[in-house]
Amino acid sequence: MKLPVKKPLLSFLFLLAALTCLAQGVPALEQLKADPVLVKCMLNGFEASLPIATDMFPYYRWNDLRDFYTARCNSNK
């Protein structure tokens, strides 16, 4: 199998890491995509609150966090 990558060593290492994860029982990428990604914000080692609505503090959904900061960055242009 030929990988269309300019750095074959990195491709090999990525493939090796993926196979290792599968051998250890780490869930497949499709299953990881189905689960929500949660983000925990820390400031100097302590949990930090953000101006985003969440029902599981101190964790925030990645999509909510990304949308909030994308809108904030776009409003400063």
Give, for 10, the enclosing helix (H) or strand (E): helix 8-23
Check residue 18 and give its pLDDT: 61
**Is 7 in a helix, a strand, or coil?**
coil
pLDDT in tens, 2-59: 545 455 555 565 665 665 655 555 555 555 566 778 888 888 888 889 899 989 888 9
Check residue 74 and give its pLDDT: 86
Per-position DSSP letters for 14-62, written without gaps between them: HHHHHHHHHHTTPPPHHHHHHSPPEEE-EETTEE---SS--SBTTEEEH
Check residue 22 and give its pLDDT: 54
What is this structure's pTM?
0.54
The amino acid occupying position 60 is Y
